[in-house]
Amino acid sequence: MHFELIDLAISVCLLLGAVLYTSVGHAGASIYIAIMTLFNIPSAVIKPTALVMNIFIASLTSWRFIRKGFFDFKVLLPIAIGAIPFAFLGGFINAPSHIYKSIVGIILLISAISLVTNLSNKIDKKLKKPPFILAMIIGALIGFLAGLTGTGGGIFLSPLILFLGWSTTKTTSGITALFILINSSFGLLGNYSSVQNLPDQLPLFIVATLIGALIGTTLGIKFYTANTIKKTLALVLVIAGFKLLLT
């Protein structure tokens, strides 16, 4: 298989994006989409490629966080039940994106600001069990947005879990990682016809992001404190928010 120099440049960027995103339990679809857009990869190729990479990266990321005990099935279950059918539906729809991108981008930027201000002082304190129905509704909304945007939904889920007090910071990373795996899988199923547009460079991209995920998850599990994770997550949300607003 022959690769161009541009493919190697894209792979390096994807690797760095994976390091940043997986350190907080995300798979990185939003940054992969931004990178591929900057390198003028055709739009028909971007969404399925990002979802396939998400499935690989979220599998590794969730396994590493869960194996270390950073996971809570009781929080994930109702969210996943709500998300699965709507991730499939969102993946099936190819709708005009400028309106929802603007709204979601602004929400992500507000979440990022909240994570680095006094509003975040309540995180990791007074944890409570999520109401099942409310968690299902949130899962449905995030699942639909994830399928629609070609992301795994982690950029929407993790700040919500933290601010609602449903989980600690590191445990949220594990919950988010498995949620992304589920969402990405059903989002790709909903847009299954798009897999015919997967690029020849995909194996190279997957290897690059897996290397990045190994580095990122090691940082998140072994070295990051809760405060570092909040700041890193805020950076991730800023990048994702501006990406949605500017594309």
| Distance, CA of 66 to CA of 178 (rounded, Å) | 9
Question: Which pair of tokens denotes residue 85?
Answer: 């059918």
CA distance 155 to 162: 12
Q: Contact 10/36 with Cβ under 8 angstroms?
A: yes
Share of the chain above pLDDT 90, in %: 35
Q: Please state the rounded mean pLDDT for residues 226-235.
A: 84
pLDDT in tens, 87-146: 888 777 766 666 666 766 777 787 788 777 765 666 777 889 999 999 999 999 998 887
Is the pLDDT higher at 219 or at 28? Answer: 219
Q: What number is the average pLDDT over the span 44-66? A: 89
Q: How many domains does the chain have?
A: 1
- Mean pLDDT over all residues of the chain? 85
pLDDT-derived band at 150, boundaries 50, 70, 90: low
Q: Say yes or no to pLDDT of 1 above 60.
A: no
- CB count within 10 Å of CB 198 equals 14
Q: What is the pLDDT of residue 159?
A: 87
Q: List all residues 6 or more positions away from 191 whose beta carbon is below 8 Å from its beta carbon.
A: 47, 48, 51, 91, 92, 94, 147
- Cβ(49)–Cβ(32) below 8 Å: yes
Candidate ranges 71-80, 159-168, 182-191; pick with highest mean pLDDT: 71-80
CA torsion, ordered 212, 157, 133, 171, to nearest 10 deg: 60
Could you tell me the pTM of the whole model? 0.84
The whole domain housing 122 covers 5-246
Give mean pLDDT, residues 150-157. 80
